């Protein structure tokens, strides 16, 4: 199947981060995004559990009302701020039209975040996932989501990913940048692996961060509706509402496996060794620690 013409293959460098050319064309609009003090920002490197935490947050914002959260696809309920395709879609505009309190999604690294989000001291939730599982998930996503460049072979993609030549740039830079910002801003830093291991504990952390207190019954309802098994079959969150020529779930479903440690099924021993060596160099000196399996 042909790729959509609006997305040529090459990424464009925006202050050091490779992004879709359409975003770079409209960069001044993204930079000028006007945050409101009660905005909640969901920030992630792609494939780290964005959709999962987004659905959790929309359910929280709607007091666990599952039907209300089926009012539209997740990407319309919580727009990706920086996603602008001229004459086609515009995350910044969509957000401008939304009533407060707004949920705002971004994959931008801290260096590129519009200044008004910092100035307004918005609360932010960052979800990080271990580098190897993100690599695998991103690889399959490149194959199925037509706006991404062709990933080539797994070996080739892994090389591009390690060296930060993929959309949104270096994973290392992203996770470390947000980790550092946590010291000065209201950021709840979560890990995908913790959410898998103890979904209830992590949901309670989110509720505390938002200063919300829900009865046990609503907490359990949110947990049930945000489990992988339920989300996988929910068209408003599994991205099957996107036209097939933009996302082809026959190649790889958006809700692919939803586990920790799938990298073991993909990395050769040589790839693993090379990856770990480079990882240790990149992560040297940070207090940020990941678990690659649970
Ligand atoms: P896999 O490709 O490893 O299965 P994002 O939303 O940031 O694009 O992340 C997508 C990844 O999160 C996919 O990972 C997807 O399966 C996983 N995911 C989505 N919802 C999930 C859930 N409720 N529980 C666990 N994983 C989930």
Q: State how many domains the chain has.
A: 1
DSSP character at residue 111 = G
Distance CA 291, CA 38 (A): 32
User: What residues are annotated to the active site?
Assistant: 107
Report the pLDDT value the prediction gives residue 166, as an integer from 0 to 100. Answer: 97
**Residue at token pair 């952390």:** 205
* pLDDT given at position 24: 85
pLDDT of the residue at 85: 87
Q: Is residue 289 part of a domain?
A: no
268 located within any domain: yes
Asked whether residue 165 is domain-assigned, the answer is: yes
The mean pLDDT values, 10 residues at a time, for the chain of 294 residues are: 57 93 90 98 99 98 98 98 90 98 98 98 99 98 94 98 98 98 98 98 98 98 98 98 96 98 98 98 98 95
Ligand 1 close to Cβ of residue 262 (< 6 A): yes
Chain-centroid distance, C-alpha 171: 12
Q: What CATH number is attached to the domain comprising 117?
A: 3.40.50.300
Give the position, in ligand 1's atom list, of the atom nearest the Cα of 137: 2
Domain enclosing residue 258, as ranges? 13-282
Mutation choice for ligand 1 from 107, 174, 255, 262, CB with most ligand atoms inside 8 A? 255
Residue 290 covered by a domain: no
Q: Is the C-beta atom of 47 inside 6 A of ligand 1?
A: yes
The whole-model pTM stands at 0.97
Q: Does residue 137 line the site of ligand 1, with CB under 6 A?
A: yes
Omega cis (within 30) before 101: yes
C-alpha to C-alpha distance for 175 and 181, rounded to whole angstroms: 10
Instruction: Evaluate whether residue 220 is within a structural domain.
Output: yes
Q: Which protein residue's CA is at the shortest distance from atom 25 of ligand 1?
A: 258
Residue 287 falls within a domain, yes or no? no
pLDDT at 10: 83
Any ligand 1 atom below 6 A from CB of 275: no
Ligand 1 atom closest to the CA of 226, numbered from 1: 23
| 4 occurs within a structural domain | no
DSSP secondary structure, 84-105, as one string = EETTTEEHHHHHHTSPSSPEEE
Helix %, strand %, coil % for the chain, to 5? 45, 10, 45
């Amino acid at each position: 199947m042909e790729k959509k013409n609006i997305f040529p293959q090459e990424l464009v460098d925006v202050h050091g981060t490779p992004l879709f050319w359409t975003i770079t064309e409209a960069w001044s609009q993204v930079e000028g995004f006007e945050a409101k003090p009660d905005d909640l920002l969901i920030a992630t490197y792609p494939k780290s559990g964005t959709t999962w935490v987004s659905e959790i947050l929309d359910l929280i914002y709607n007091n666990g009302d599952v039907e209300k959260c089926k009012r539209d696809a997740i990407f319309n309920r919580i727009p990706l701020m920086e996603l602008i395709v001229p004459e086609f879609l515009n995350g910044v505009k969509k957000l401008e039209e939304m009533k407060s309190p707004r949920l705002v999604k971004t994959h931008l690294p801290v260096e590129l975040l519009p200044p008004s989000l910092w100035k307004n001291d918005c609360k932010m939730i960052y979800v990080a996932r271990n580098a190897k599982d993100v690599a695998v998930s991103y690889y399959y996503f490149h194959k199925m989501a037509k706006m991404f460049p062709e990933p080539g072979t797994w070996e080739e993609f892994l090389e591009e990913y390690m060296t930060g030549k993929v959309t949104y740039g270096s994973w290392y830079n992203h996770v470390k940048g947000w980790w550092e910002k946590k010291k000065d801003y209201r950021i709840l830093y979560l890990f995908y692996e913790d959410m898998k291991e103890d979904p209830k504990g992590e949901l309670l952390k989110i509720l505390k961060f938002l200063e919300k207190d829900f009865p046990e019954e609503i907490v359990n309802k949110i947990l049930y509706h945000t489990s992988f098994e339920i989300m996988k079959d929910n068209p408003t969150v599994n991205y099957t509402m996107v036209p097939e020529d933009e996302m082809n779930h026959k190649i790889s479903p958006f809700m692919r496996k939803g586990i920790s440690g799938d990298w073991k099924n993909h990395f050769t021993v040589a790839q693993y060794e090379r990856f770990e060596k480079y990882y240790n160099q990149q992560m040297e000196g940070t207090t940020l620690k990941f678990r690659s399996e649970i």
